Amino acid sequence: MKNEIIIKKAKKLEGNLAEYYLFCVDVCGEDDEANTKPAKEALMLSRNILAYLEATA
């Protein structure tokens, strides 16, 4: 359910989605292990955005 909400929000952002994805990745840093809650959320969001972009490409 949470992922669906994220995808709905992502659809609204469609014009800036790629930039938002890069921002989320940047927040996480280069580490795959996100240690803080905002970094974990950004990592999950970036994965959802990437999945959305791949699905609609």
The values of phi and psi at residue 4, to 5°, are -65, -40
The count of structural domains within the chain is: 1
Q: Does residue 52 contact residue 45 with C-beta atoms inside 8 Å? A: no
Q: How far apart are the C-alpha atoms of 46 and 52, rounded to whole Å?
A: 10
Strands (E), 1-57: none
* Owner of token pair 């994965």: 47
* Owner of token pair 């995808």: 7
Joined together, the tokens standing for residue 48 give 């959802």
**Of residues 3 and 52, more confidently modeled:** 52
* Model confidence pLDDT, tens digit, residues 12-43: 665 566 677 777 767 665 555 556 676 677 77
Where in the sequence is the domain holding 38, given as residue range(s)?
2-56
